[in-house]
């Protein structure tokens, strides 16, 4: 058996040598690491202010950094007509970077080599399933009049979309796709994307498709979660049937459709869309009823931000209180109010060939005589009163609720009117504090 003490004695010289070399090796490693870190820092500093010479210096200092080759290609592209070789080298140095391949493809296209450009773009799309490669392909095919492929890649874009999607919508519509057909054919069933398209079409002169797009958005609420594609899945859907309420931005966009229809004096379409908003509980208002046209006629609810509901015009000298429990509206003037002002208003769609009777019940106990309060009909969008009878019977001072009436005869066309309660200081009467209570305002269909 070997002597253990002899073995220990034979290893001790190696151990001694290692102990002597270890500090030197450690210092050498530290020195080499410091030199390499200095080279990387120098290269990074040079890349911050690139010039052709500085970029070449950065590449020599840090040859493994692919960004240096990208900078070289960018500078060559700025200086000369052909930087294809530089972009090809940059793509080889960054084989997994789709943006470099896209830039290389654009340079190939600029050099009138569309086949090579298409090949490079398709390769970039295999590297990344994100927006940019797909959008680059959609635009490439659109530029080369390949409408079918452009629309196909536009549809892929929508599946990874976010942010400003107006260019995407414009590209699809430029191919002749009608707005009403665009969502089901090219857009995912996603609330954020449909909201973006509704907002886009709301700012467009052609409003023919607004209700269709809004209806498709409403179909997704509240079952589908909000969020852009890829971020709109519910991880707990396997266990819970959760509901996701309407967002404030979605509600604002839907109400803007109603405003747009009214601004275009499309009263019948606006009334149909109002019914849709009511049925989906976007608005609490009752559906449009041709037998009783005035919404919230007995002030049984606080008015909503809905043009078919009461609009209140308050200020420093005007207070309007809606008491839903008492079904009462109270208008109070301080005595320093303007000479003439609107207090309440509501848009009315009056169908053709129907006659109505206007009835308003109000009380003005502490009012001068005449009170200055009066109901007024005007064409919606106009300040001129209806010519056949400029004003309804003025509201007079009473100790109890009195009735104001007015008959609206049938016409051959639909009418879009604005009903307004106004105050105008009567001639010879000084302004003073006064209060008007209104219990009901109705427009009832005559048999």
Question: Looking at residue 98, what is its pLDDT?
Answer: 92
Tokens of 232: 């709109």
Using a CB cutoff of 8 Å and minimum separation of 24, what contacts does 70-77 make? 70/94, 70/100, 70/103, 71/47, 73/103, 73/104, 73/107, 74/50, 74/103, 75/50, 75/51, 76/52, 77/107
Question: Looking at residue 388, what is its pLDDT?
Answer: 44
List the one residue out of 133, 174, 168, 175 whose CA is nearest residue 154: 168
Question: Looking at residue 214, what is its pLDDT?
Answer: 96
Residue 105 domain-assigned? no
Q: Residue 347: is the preceding peptide bond cis (ω within 30°)? A: no
Tokens of 240: 């819970």
Residue 137 domain-assigned? no
What's the pLDDT tens digit per position in 305-351?
888 999 999 988 999 999 999 999 999 999 999 999 999 999 999 99
Q: How far apart are CA 198 and CA 253, in angstroms?
A: 7
Give the rounded distance of the alpha carbon of 362 from its chain centre. Answer: 42
Picking from 242, 265, 283, the residue at the C-terminal end of a domain is 283
Picking from 283, 302, 330, the residue at the C-terminal end of a domain is 283
Q: How far apart are CA 347 and CA 42, in angstroms?
A: 70
Tokens of 342: 């609107």
What is the phi/psi pair of residue 419, to 5°?
-95, 125
Tokens of 187: 């857009």
Are residues 417 and 377 in contact, defined by beta-carbon separation less than 8 angstroms? yes
Helices and strands: H and E segment counts in the chain? 14, 9
Whether residue 261 sits in one domain with residue 221: yes
Whether residue 362 sits in one domain with residue 266: no
Residue span of the structural domain in which 229 resides: 161-283
Q: What is the CATH number of the domain that holds 426?
A: 2.60.120.260
Whether residue 340 sits in one domain with residue 277: no
Residue 274 domain-assigned? yes
Residue 168 domain-assigned? yes
Tokens of 25: 């090796």
Are residues 289 and 296 in contact, defined by beta-carbon separation less than 8 angstroms? no
Residue 55 domain-assigned? no
Residues of the chain with pLDDT under 50: 1, 4-9, 387-391
> What contacts 148, CB < 8 A, 6 or more positions away?
none
Question: Looking at residue 329, what is its pLDDT?
Answer: 95
Q: How far apart are CA 22 and CA 268, in angstroms?
A: 91
Residue 124 domain-assigned? no
List the one residue out of 254, 292, 301, 248 whose CA is nearest residue 274: 254
Whether residue 260 sits in one domain with residue 328: no
What is the phi/psi pair of residue 445, to 5°?
-70, 135
What's the residue count for the chain?
447
3-class SS shares of the chain: helix, strand, coil, % to 5: 45, 15, 40
Whether residue 325 sits in one domain with residue 255: no
What is the phi/psi pair of residue 18, to 5°?
-60, -40
> What contacts 395, CB < 8 A, 6 or more positions away?
362, 364, 367, 371, 373, 374, 375, 402, 404, 436
Q: How far apart are CA 124 and CA 19, in angstroms?
A: 54
Question: Looking at residue 429, what is its pLDDT?
Answer: 87
Q: How far apart are CA 201 and CA 164, in angstroms?
A: 13
Whether residue 316 sits in one domain with residue 439: yes
Tokens of 57: 């210096």
Whether residue 435 sits in one domain with residue 350: yes
Domain count for the chain: 2
Picking from 283, 303, 319, the residue at the C-terminal end of a domain is 283
Whether residue 441 sits in one domain with residue 323: yes
Question: Looking at residue 78, what is its pLDDT?
Answer: 75
List the one residue out of 105, 148, 146 whose CA is nearest residue 126: 105
Whether residue 321 sits in one domain with residue 430: yes
Whether residue 333 sits in one domain with residue 276: no
Strand partners, 320: 331
Instruction: Please count the other Cβ atoms lying within 10 Å of the Cβ belonging to residue 301.
Output: 16
Residue 108 domain-assigned? no
The beta-strand segments (E) located in 274-354 are 311-312, 318-323, 328-333, 340-350
Q: What is the pTM of this model?
A: 0.79
Is residue 153 packed enough to be buried (19+ CB in 10 Å), middle (13-18) or exposed (0-12)? Answer: buried
Residue 2 domain-assigned? no
Whether residue 242 sits in one domain with residue 318: no
Whether residue 415 sits in one domain with residue 322: yes
Q: How far apart are CA 413 and CA 323, in angstroms?
A: 37
């Amino acid at each position: 058996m070997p002597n253990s003490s002899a073995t220990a004695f034979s290893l001790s010289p190696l151990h001694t040598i290692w102990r002597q070399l270890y500090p030197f090796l450690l210092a050498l490693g530290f020195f080499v690491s410091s030199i390499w870190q200095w080279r990387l820092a120098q290269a990074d500093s040079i890349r911050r202010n690139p010039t052709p010479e500085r970029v070449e210096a950065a590449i020599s200092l840090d040859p493994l950094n692919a960004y240096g080759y990208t900078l070289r290609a960018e500078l060559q592209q700025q200086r000369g007509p052909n930087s294809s070789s530089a972009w090809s080298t940059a793509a080889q140095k960054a084989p997994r970077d789709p943006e470099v391949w896209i830039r290389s493809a654009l340079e190939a296209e600029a050099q009138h080599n569309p086949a090579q450009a298409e090949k490079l773009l398709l390769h970039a799309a295999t590297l990344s399933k994100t927006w940019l490669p797909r959008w680059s392909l959609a635009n490439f095919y659109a530029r080369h009049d390949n409408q079918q492929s452009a629309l196909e890649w536009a549809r892929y874009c929508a599946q990874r979309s976010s942010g400003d999607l107006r260019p995407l919508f414009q590209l699809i519509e430029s191919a002749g796709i009608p707005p009403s057909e665009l969502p089901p054919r090219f857009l995912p069933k996603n609330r954020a994307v449909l909201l973006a398209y509704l907002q886009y079409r709301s700012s467009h002169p052609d409003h023919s498709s607004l209700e269709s797009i809004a209806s498709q958005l409403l179909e997704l609420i509240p079952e589908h979660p909000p969020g852009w594609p890829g971020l709109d899945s519910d991880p707990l859907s396997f266990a819970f049937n959760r509901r996701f309420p309407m967002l404030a931005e979605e509600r604002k966009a839907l109400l803007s459709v109603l405003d747009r229809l009214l601004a275009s004096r499309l009263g019948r379409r606006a009334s149909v869309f109002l019914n849709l908003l009511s049925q989906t509980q976007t608005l609490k208002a009752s559906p449009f009823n041709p037998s009783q046209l005035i919404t919230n006629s007995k002030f049984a609810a606080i008015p909503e931000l809905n043009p078919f509901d009461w609009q209140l015009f308050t200020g420093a000298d005007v207070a309007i209180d809606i008491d839903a429990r008492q079904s009462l509206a109270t208008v109070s003037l301080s005595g320093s109010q303007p000479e003439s002002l609107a207090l309440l208003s509501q848009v009315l769609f009056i169908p053709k060939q129907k006659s109505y009777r206007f009835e308003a019940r109000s009380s003005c106990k502490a009012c001068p005589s005449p009170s200055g309060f009066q109901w007024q009909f005007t064409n919606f969008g106009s300040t001129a009163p209806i010519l056949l009878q400029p004003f309804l019977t003025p509201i007079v001072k009473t100790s109890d609720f009195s009735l104001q009436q007015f008959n609206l005869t049938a016409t051959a066309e639909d009418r879009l009117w604005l009903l307004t309660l106004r105050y105008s200081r009567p001639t010879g009467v000084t302004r003073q504090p006064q209060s008007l209570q209104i219990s009901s305002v109705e427009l009832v269909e005559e048999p």
